[in-house]
């Protein structure tokens, strides 16, 4: 996933997975011949953001200092002019029900591309694990989001020049194995769960998948493999590139990208 000449940015949310990923990549750093590593966190700007809970311990700062890695924090307000909370309130005031995790996720992905282009990152490492990936595939199937699979493929290979390729070094590692690694290495675990988590559709899928796994032990691996193969098939049948957003010009499955769609619904696109 990492080759000589790469400039890899590790996305640190503060959860145990991202802290474990930073720890692992920092330790392996000497083996990346000629590759650069730095870490970053995005502060979405709402009171329950992992950012604030993480700030209580200086673990990332310690790891960054110990391994000589640059670490920066970026804020939604600086990037978009608004915090996630402000956008959420404006959406609600206009009668749009959008989950906070959706606002965070959609804007965070865009933010990473914008920052990465300025910094010169060639890859962004995220801490998605096997469980996250299996949930994503299942969620897309349940929601009938075929086009998302194509997106999945675009991100993985990033043939599109203006997207910074994502790498997911933990994507075949089970969540509990990462927890064991974190515990063993003294990586702090956040005590409080985000209050938005329980209403996120992924939350239920987590239990459904655990239930299915008792009868079908390979179900998570099968889902991830299915998603990857579907993405490959979609890519080969849809050569010619993705569409562009009418407003911002970014690659988008629909005429208006999800970022502009959210900002438009919140009434701040012109701002
Ligand atoms: Zn757009």
Per-residue pLDDT of the chain (271 residues), as tens digits, is 898 899 999 999 878 899 999 999 998 887 777 899 999 999 898 777 666 666 666 788 888 888 889 999 999 999 999 999 999 999 999 999 998 888 988 999 899 999 999 999 999 999 999 999 999 999 989 988 887 777 665 454 444 556 888 899 999 999 999 999 999 998 877 656 667 777 777 888 999 999 999 999 999 999 999 998 888 888 777 655 567 899 998 888 789 999 999 999 999 998 8
Q: What are phi and psi of 38, to 5 degrees?
A: -145, 165
Count of structural domains, the chain? 1
Residue 270 is assigned to a structural domain of this protein: no
Q: How many CB atoms lie within 10 A of CB 220?
A: 25
Residue 84 is assigned to a structural domain of this protein: yes
Residue 169 is assigned to a structural domain of this protein: yes
Question: How far does residue 48's CA lie from ligand 1's centre (Å)?
Answer: 27
Residue 139 is assigned to a structural domain of this protein: yes
Question: How far does residue 47's CA lie from ligand 1's centre (Å)?
Answer: 27
Token pair of 45 as six digits: 């700007």
List all residues 6 or more positions away from 112 whose beta carbon is below 8 Å from its beta carbon: 9, 11, 42, 124, 164
Token pair of 211 as six digits: 């239930």
DSSP-assigned beta bridge partners for residue 37: 8
Residue 74 is assigned to a structural domain of this protein: yes
pTM across the whole model: 0.86
Question: How far does residue 162's CA lie from ligand 1's centre (Å)?
Answer: 13
Q: Are 128 and 11 in contact (CB under 8 A)?
A: no
Residue 15 is assigned to a structural domain of this protein: yes
Q: Are 69 and 36 in contact (CB under 8 A)?
A: no
Range of the domain at 128: 7-265
- The Cα-based distances of 234 to 5, 228, 237 in angstroms read 30, 10, 5
Read off the DSSP letter of residue 172.
Answer: T
The candidate with the shortest Cα–Cα distance to 49, out of 263, 181, 254, 195, is 195
Residue 120 is assigned to a structural domain of this protein: yes
> Which CATH number characterizes residue 53's domain?
3.40.50.620
Question: How far does residue 250's CA lie from ligand 1's centre (Å)?
Answer: 6
Residue 21 is assigned to a structural domain of this protein: yes
């Amino acid at each position: 996933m990492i080759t000589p000449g790469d400039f890899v940015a590790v996305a640190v949310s503060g959860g145990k997975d991202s802290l474990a990923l930073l720890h692992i990549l920092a330790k392996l750093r000497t083996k990346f011949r000629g590759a650069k590593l730095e870490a970053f966190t995005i502060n979405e700007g709402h009171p329950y953001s992992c950012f604030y809970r993480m700030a209580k311990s200086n673990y990332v700062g310690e790891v960054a200092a110990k391994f000589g890695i640059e670490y920066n924090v970026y804020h939604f307000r600086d990037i978009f002019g608004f915090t996630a909370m402000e956008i959420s309130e404006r959406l609600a005031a206009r009668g749009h029900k959008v989950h906070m995790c959706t606002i965070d996720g959609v804007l965070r992905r865009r933010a990473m591309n914008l920052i990465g282009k300025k910094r010169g990152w060639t890859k962004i490492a995220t801490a998605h694990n096997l469980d996250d990936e299996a949930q994503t595939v299942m969620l897309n199937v349940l929601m009938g989001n075929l086009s998302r699979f194509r997106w999945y493929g675009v991100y993985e290979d990033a043939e599109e020049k203006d997207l910074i390729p994502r790498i997911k070094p933990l994507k075949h590692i089970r969540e509990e194995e990462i927890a064991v690694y974190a515990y063993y290495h003294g990586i702090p675990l956040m005590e409080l769960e985000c209050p938005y988590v329980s209403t996120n559709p992924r939350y239920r899928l987590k239990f459904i998948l655990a239930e299915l796994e008792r009868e079908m032990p390979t179900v998570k691996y099968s889902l991830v493999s299915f998603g990857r193969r579907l993405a490959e098939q979609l890519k080969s049948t849809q050569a010619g590139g993705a569409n562009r957003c009418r407003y911002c010009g970014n690659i988008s499955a629909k005429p208006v990208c999800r970022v502009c769609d959210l900002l438009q619904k919140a009434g701040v696109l012109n701002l």
